[in-house]
């Protein structure tokens, strides 16, 4: 068995199939991990979601901000944006099944056997792995409950931008969700800057990429993440693997074999 992780797919079905063909991926004995933002912006979100759902026994996913936005649109808590590509998904005969499956997925996944953790954007620098898994479970429990629509209604917004154990209710869940699905930069205290989307060369004074924060608690964890397309993939040592290489923006889709760290790329098709 081989285990692979793929960066932000965002509806790029042809590129997903190409990169899986490169490694002769077989869902009967291989595993595919997906870092979230499975859908939206790319040309065929319906085919991507159908493939992942049909092979769900071989797939591990975490939710990204685009996936959560789709859930909010489906539940009527948000209108689709001009650049969203949800029409075919919402009209699909299996949409309800796919929605139910998406709402079962976590924001943070840890495999004890392989000793890898997967998130969409990152892990707050002030959180240990145990913290992250506990807070992910809070959001996952709400998404699986009768209160899912209420959560999705209140999910949007940049405040509170700093974690506190004293946060409660909607503010707490929104803050957890923003750290897991939207984070790039944090300040010295770990507070979020949710406006920045450029590369590492332009980071403003007083801020750090979350994974370079000097007091980051989860430094011993091997973390697979996506979300930050401007990094164009980021693997700087033995335990950080940023796999978003901007396929939906015309660059490439990246697949990594977990055992060897070998990378496989499919160039975006016009």
- Which residue ranges form the domains of the chain, and what is each CATH number? 3-267 (3.60.21.10)
pLDDT of residue 236: 72
Q: 238 falls in which pLDDT band (50, 70, 90)?
A: confident
Q: What is the pLDDT of residue 73?
A: 98
Which pTM value belongs to this model? 0.97
CA distances from 156 to 24, 160, 177, 180, 227 (A): 40, 11, 9, 14, 17
pLDDT digits (tens, 9 = 90+) for 153-182: 999 999 999 999 999 999 999 999 999 999
pLDDT score recorded for residue 154: 98
- Contact between 247 and 268 (Cβ < 8 Å): yes
* Segment 122-139 mean pLDDT: 98
* pLDDT tens, position by position, 12-34: 999 999 999 999 999 999 999 99
Strand-strand pairing, 223-225 and 240-242 = parallel
CB 65 within 8 A of CB 21: no
pLDDT digits (tens, 9 = 90+) for 49-98: 999 999 999 999 999 999 999 999 999 999 999 999 999 999 999 999 99
**How far apart, in Å, do the first and last CA atoms of the chain sit?**
33
Residue 116, beta-bridge partner list = 111
Whether 10 has a pLDDT exceeding 80, the answer reads yes
Q: Are strands 31-34 and 59-61 parallel, antiparallel or unpaired?
A: parallel
The rounded Cα 81 to chain-centroid distance in angstroms is 20
Opening angle at CA 31, ends 239 and 148, nearest 5: 85
* pLDDT score at 105: 98
* Omega of the bond leading into 55 within 30 degrees of 0 (cis): no
Q: What's the CA gap between 34 and 76, in Å, rounded?
A: 26
């Amino acid at each position: 068995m081989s285990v692979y992780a793929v960066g932000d797919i965002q509806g790029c079905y042809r590129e997903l199939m190409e990169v899986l063909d490169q490694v002769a991926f077989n869902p009967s004995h291989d595993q595919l991990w997906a870092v979230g933002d499975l859908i939206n912006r790319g040309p065929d979100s319906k085919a991507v979601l159908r493939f992942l759902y049909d092979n769900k026994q071989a797939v591990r996913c975490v939710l990204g901000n685009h996936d959560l936005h789709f859930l909010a649109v489906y539940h009527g808590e948000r209108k689709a944006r001009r650049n969203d590509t949800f029409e075919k998904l919402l009209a699909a005969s299996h949409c309800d099944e796919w929605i139910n499956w998406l709402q079962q997925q976590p924001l943070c996944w840890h495999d004890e056997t392989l000793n890898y953790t997967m998130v969409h954007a990152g892990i707050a620098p002030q959180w240990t792995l145990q913290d992250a898994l506990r807070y992910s479970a809070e959001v996952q429990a709400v998404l699986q409950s009768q209160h899912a629509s209420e959560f999705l209604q209140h999910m949007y917004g940049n405040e509170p931008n700093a974690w506190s154990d004293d946060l409660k209710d909607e503010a707490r869940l929104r803050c957890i969700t923003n750290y897991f699905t939207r984070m790039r930069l944090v300040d010295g205290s770990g507070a979020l800057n949710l406006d920045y989307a450029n590369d590492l060369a332009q980071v403003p004074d007083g801020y750090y990429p979350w994974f370079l924060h000097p007091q980051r608690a989860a430094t011993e964890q091997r973390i697979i993440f996506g979300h930050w397309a401007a990094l164009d993939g980021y693997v700087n040592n033995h335990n950080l693997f940023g796999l978003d290489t901007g396929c939906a923006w015309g660059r490439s889709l990246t697949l990594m074999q977990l055992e060897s760290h070998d990378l496989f790329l499919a160039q975006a098709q016009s």
